[in-house]
Structure formats: structure tokens, C-alpha cells
Amino acid sequence: MKRMLRNIIAPLLCLISMHSNAVHLNDFKDDYGVFFFEQSTCNYCIKMIPKLNNIDAAYDIDILPVSLDGIPVPNSGKWASKTIPDKGRLTAVMPVDVTPTFYVINKKTRQAAKMGYGDISEAQFMENLVLALRAIQVVPQNEPLSLEPMRGKTIKDSLSSDQSSVPNFSPAPAQSSATSQSMADEFRASLKKKYLSGQ
């Protein structure tokens, strides 16, 4: 499956770098969020924290850690304060067999798609995110999509073993995240109210 995803997404990303009319992943920033289902005793969850820090630094993706045991991942820094507990309400609609598991949700339609599990690379996370965003209709199926980092950082992993096929991304200018942050806070509050009230 991973090889198939790479074969689909890597050429797509190369084509994107040649199109000036490609939409940017950040254009859809307020339309989706990622659930990071984790447990405090999960070694793979601990390994994901630095990768999530890099992804967040580069793309400013709204990632919400959801703890299955009610305890944040140790040494998770800023993610610890964002972690919400789940006692089965979210996992009832988004099944989690192993941790970490990642789901992406369309904030408008509340459609969700599993985008990966386990200790995945930053590049694989982004590949899976793009495919999942298309599956839940956040990003149009045939729309070229640019994955230029928002904040001038780059993803350390390569998108494929063939370095010549990896597009050369240039940093996009930094943008204000005040509106995005308030929308993310409202979304988190609505999730807590809907799924976590009464726990």
C-alpha cells in the first residue's frame, strides 16, 4: 500500500511544482483538522512528537492529540496542553486499533478519514494527508495542490527514493494565524462539547 501511495503522490507533487495555478494546502487550513490518537505508554507516539513538531512548524496544521488513557505523551511539550482525553466517544466513530492513529476531519461536513497509523515519516504523513483530504472532499480531486511549507521550514524526509523527482519547494510568506487559531479553538470546544461532555 505504501509503495502504491508513493507511486500516486510523488508524480502528482512533481507536476504541481510546474503549475503556477496550483492551490496551496494552506488555502484549506480552516477546513480540516487532524486527530492524533495516542497513549502515554506508546513508544511510537513518543517517536512521532518531533515529527509532528516539524510538520506543525512547516505547515501550521491543526493537530489535536486525543489520549486514549487520559494522559498526554511524556515529554510532548506544547502537545501536552492541547491533549484531550477520550473515553470511547471519539473512538466509537473513529476506530483505533493501534497507537498512534491519525484521522483527518472535514470541519464543515464532519466527514473523517483514517490517514495512517504507527511511526510514519513526515513525508508519508503529508502524502497520506493529501489523499485523505481528497477523500473527504476538502481538496478537489483533480486540483493541483502545492505543499510549499508555510513557515520557511522543510520536511526532512524525501517523498521518494529518487531525489530527482522531489520538487524544489520555496518558503511561502508567513501569514497571520489569529483567525485560524480562533477557528481552531472554536472547533476544539465544539468537539469537547459534542463528544466529551458527560465523561
Indicate if the alpha-carbon torsion angle 11, 17, 18, 23 is positive or negative.
positive
pLDDT (0 to 100) of residue 194: 62
7 pLDDT more than 60: no
161 pLDDT more than 70: no
Are 159 and 13 within 8 A, CB to CB? yes
89 pLDDT more than 70: yes
- Domains, the chain: 2-196 (3.40.30.10)
Distance between CA atoms of 48 and 97, rounded to whole angstroms? 17
How much is the average pLDDT of 72-92? 93
21 pLDDT more than 90: no
The confidence band for 197, taking pLDDT boundaries of 50, 70 and 90, is: low
What is the pTM assigned to this prediction?
A: 0.67
Enumerate the H helices of the chain as residue ranges.
Answer: 2-18, 43-59, 78-82, 89-93, 122-135, 178-191
